Each structure stands twice: as C-alpha cells, then as structure tokens.
Amino acid sequence: MDNLTHSLVGLTAAKAGLERLSPGATAVCVLAANAPDVDVAILLFGDRWTYLHHHRGITHAIVGVVCLAVLIPLIFHGVDRLWARLRKQPVRTKLGGLMLASFIVTATHPLLDWTNNYGIRFFLPWSSKWSYGDLVYIVDPYIWLLLGGTCFLLSAKTTGGKVVWGAVAVGLTALVVGNPRAAGLPAFFVVFWVAAIAIIVVLRLLGAAKWGSKLAYNALWLVVGYWVILTFMHTGALAKGFGYALTIVPEGENISRKAVMPTLANPFRWDCVFDTERATYRFSVNLLNDDNSPPPRVIRYEKPSGTLAEVMEKISQERPVRIFLGFARYPVARLTDPNCTTETLVQLADLRYTEPGNSRGTFTLEMPVDCPTSYEGGR
C-alpha cells in the first residue's frame, strides 16, 4: 500500500489506545507503520532493477519486521534517555510501552501490503516465494476516507491542525478528481468522495471527537470488515472470470493458473489473468453485469516459441531480465520485429499491470538483441 495509508493506520492505532502506553507512542506508531519501506534507500545505491529485486524484501519479511519493531523503540527511547541526561530531567518514555506499540503497528505493514497484487515474500531469506492477497488496489481511496476522516476528527484540535488536515483533504481531492486516471473511475465515485468529505466535516461540527478512542478502534474494525466484503467479491469475480475463461480458450488449451485482481476504487470490476500451456490472457470482469456473454476485450499473448524463444534464451541471464522474470507474476514478451532479420527489441511486461511496449517503469523491460544466426536474412 501507499505510505499515506500506512501512516493513517499508524495514527489511527495510536488514537485507538496505543498512545496511552507511553509518551511519544504516537510518533513511534507512525514511524513503525512505515518502517519496512526503509528499503527505498536502495535507490541511493543502485538502479531500478536493484530496487525491484529488493523492494518488499527482507524488511517486509517476518524476520525483518521483528527486527524493525525492536529497533525503532530502542532508538526512540535511547534518544529520550540521552536528552533527559543532557537536560538533567527524568526520562519521559516507557520502553515497554513503546515496544508493544511498535510490534503491533509494524506488523500491520506487511499485512496491508499482502492485500494487494504486488505481493509479499514473508519467509525471506529462507524462501523467496511471493504471496498475494489480491483484495485491495495498491491505492485505496475508501481507506483514505475512513481512516483519514477518523484521524481528522481526533487530531484537528488546534487551528494549525485544522489547516493541515484541510490542506490534506484538498490535496487528496485534487489528486483523486484531477488525476488523468480518474477517467477510469466508476461514475459514482466522485459523488461518493465529495459526500464523504462533507459528512466528515458535519461530524466534526457535531463534536464527534468526544467518542475518542472508540471512534478509532471501530474505524480499524471497519477496515477489516471492508476486507471481508472484498473477499466475498473476489470469490465471485474469480468464479465469474473462470467461467469466462472456459469460453475463451481454444480447444486443446488447459487453464493452469488464474487470478483476479482489484481495480482502482471499483469493487465491482476486477482484472482476470490466467495462463494456459500456450498463452497468457487478460480481461475484465464486471460483477454488475448479469449476462453470460464473454468480456468485450481479451488480451492474449502466446508463450515464447520459435525466434522469440531463441532470443529469450539468449537474454535470460542478463541481469535486468533475470530480476524482472523473478518478480513478474504473469510475464509476457514480444519482438518489435517478428521477422528478426538483423537486430530487434524484446519487449517484456508483467500482464497483471500492463502490456509489452507500454511505459510502466519496472513493470516493463526492453532489451536489444541480435537475431539468431539461423534467421538472419532468412525472412
């Protein structure tokens, strides 16, 4: 998930009662909620392929999360002890309380990241197997509204705080409504967003902050309830997608792997991707569509064979290709020049995100190759 979501989870958890464990617990909660993403520092020392290889790596695995959960309160408490000694004052923080808050909140990070389709490798360094929840889009504005609204109601107690939260609300509204990708949002979403913002403001005027930690506690449980609803919808989308897939695959092809993945702000629309021994497919599933006709657009990429298979073998040990194929869940490839008379580009993509030739950062890759000798000048 995005770091705004992680921060809101940490702040909401603090307001739900963890802030009472020790002075400074709120800051520890917010830091701990984001701590596993410290792996972004890899970009300072390597390229995007180094980042792809290590992102959501050891810092997101169980062993890394435990280490971070211990390290953050130790540093925080140590700094407080040093400051207290310099100022000749008593130590304010309680190490036990900070440690408990840190363990609880740090654990939410890999859990939240697991819910989307990017995946988590929980058992590094012993196993590099990816695990995917496929429930929540990488950015979920409904969670923003629920937790952000709760944090606003419980935190905006001063004029400065209200201004900051107001700026956050305006910025997110501009991002959601003004983003070019907003064109693909469901029609009801913009109305829902604006109405939700208005309701949060009204609740503030009515003094909802008096509910205190109960409000934050229930907000976190509502997120869990939201996940349960998405689990049922995911199951329905998977069944519907599999039914579509059976009508799409040609005779002689057998479905080997399949997945349905969430889309931005639309819990009724899911992307279905599946493999057969010959090709990889992708199409959209709409749960509100009652007819049994196949989806209007089906993307199909055949598995590498012939010239493409030969050039893929050539580049398979190249570092970017090796890292990309280790990450990609549904890798597909094509040649920009299928006849491959002299040299060409191999375009790779992870079909859960995009297609070959589209620019999507580390989710695509282009590699120049010389054509196999047996094909040079042959077609």
Q: Is residue 281 part of a domain?
A: yes
Would 193 be classed as within a structural domain? no
Q: What is the mean pLDDT of residues 201-219?
A: 90
pLDDT of residue 379: 39
CA quadruple 186, 189, 190, 195: dihedral, nearest 10? 160
241 and 286, same structural domain? yes
- CA pair distance 366, 345, nearest whole angstrom: 6
| Helices 187-205 and 159-178: angle between axes, nearest 10 degrees | 170
Q: Are residues 285 and 317 in the same domain?
A: no
Q: Which of 231, 241, 258, 264 lies closest to 351, judged by CA?
A: 258
Residues shown for the chain: 379
Tens digits of residue pLDDT in 126-141? 999 999 999 999 999 9
If asked whether residues 267 and 238 sit together in one domain, one would say yes
Residues 362, 318: one domain? yes
Q: Which stretches of the chain are assigned E, i.e. beta strand?
A: 255-263, 266-276, 279-286, 299-302, 331-335, 343-350, 364-370
Residues 248 and 317 in one domain: no
Structure tokens given for 157: 């107690």
Does position 178 have pLDDT exceeding 70, yes or no?
no
Number of domains in the chain: 3
Q: Is the pLDDT of residue 114 over 50?
A: yes
Of the residues 301, 317, 337, the one at which a domain ends: 301
CATH of the domain at 264: 3.10.450
Mean pLDDT across 218-235: 97
The answer on 367 and 266 residing in a single domain is no
Mean pLDDT of 340-358: 86
Tell whether 311 and 237 lie within a shared domain.
no
Residue 260 falls within a domain, yes or no?
A: yes
Beta strands at 266-276 and 343-350: parallel, antiparallel or unpaired: unpaired
pLDDT band at 376 (very low <50, low <70, confident <90, very high): very low
Same domain, 269 and 312: no
pLDDT of residue 111: 96
Query: 182 falls in which pLDDT band (50, 70, 90)?
Result: low
- The pair of structure tokens assigned to 17 is 């009662």
Contact 92, 81 (CB under 8 A): no
Cβ-contact 116, 138 below 8 angstroms = yes
What's at 327, amino acid-wise? F
Strand bridging mode 299-302 / 279-286:
antiparallel
Region 197-208: what's the mean pLDDT? 89
- The Cα angle at residue 243 between residues 239 and 248, in degrees rounded to 5: 140
Q: Is residue 208 part of a domain?
A: no
Measured from the Cβ of residue 214, the count of other Cβ atoms closer than 10 Å reads 11
40 and 24 housed in the same domain: yes
Which of 114, 133, 159 corresponds to the end of one domain? 114
With both helix axes pointing from N to C terminus, report the angle between 95-106 and 25-34 in degrees, rounded to the nearest 10: 30
Average pLDDT value over all residues in the chain: 89
Encode 110-146: b = buried (16+ Cβ within 10 Å), e = exposed: bebbbbbbbbbbbebeeeeeeebbbbbbebbbbbbbb
Mean pLDDT, range 356-370, rounded to an integer? 83
Q: Which domain holds residue 361?
A: 304-375
pTM, to two decimals? 0.92
**Residue that finishes a domain, picked among 301, 316, 334:** 301
Q: Reply yes or no on whether the pLDDT at 289 is more than 50.
A: yes
Which carries the bigger pLDDT value, residue 192 or residue 143?
A: 143
Answer whether residue 204 is part of any domain.
no
* Residue 240 resides in a domain: yes
Residues 330, 293 share a domain:
no
| Contact by Cβ (8 Å): 141, 5 | no
Measure CA 16 to chain center.
24
What average pLDDT does range 131-156 have in this prediction? 93
Question: Per-residue pLDDT for 374 more than 60?
Answer: no
Residue-by-residue DSSP string for 240-287: HHHHHHHHHSPTT--EEEEEEEEETTEEEEEEEEEEESSEEEEEEEET
Is residue 216 assigned to a domain? no
Do 263 and 369 share a domain, yes or no? no
Is 304:333 a contact under the CB 8 Å cutoff?
yes
Among residues 247, 309, 249, which one has the least CA distance to residue 281?
249
Band the pLDDT of 375: cuts 50, 70, 90: very low
Is 186 a member of any domain? no
Q: Would you state the pLDDT for residue 183?
A: 53
Distances (CA, A) of 283 to 12, 124, 162, 200, 209: 37, 32, 44, 37, 45
Lowest mean pLDDT among 44-53, 198-207, 284-293: 284-293
Burial 350-376 (b: 16+ CB within 10 A, else e): bbbbbbbeeeeebbbbebebebbeebe
User: Is residue 245 scored above 80 in pLDDT?
Assistant: yes
Same domain, 25 and 87: yes
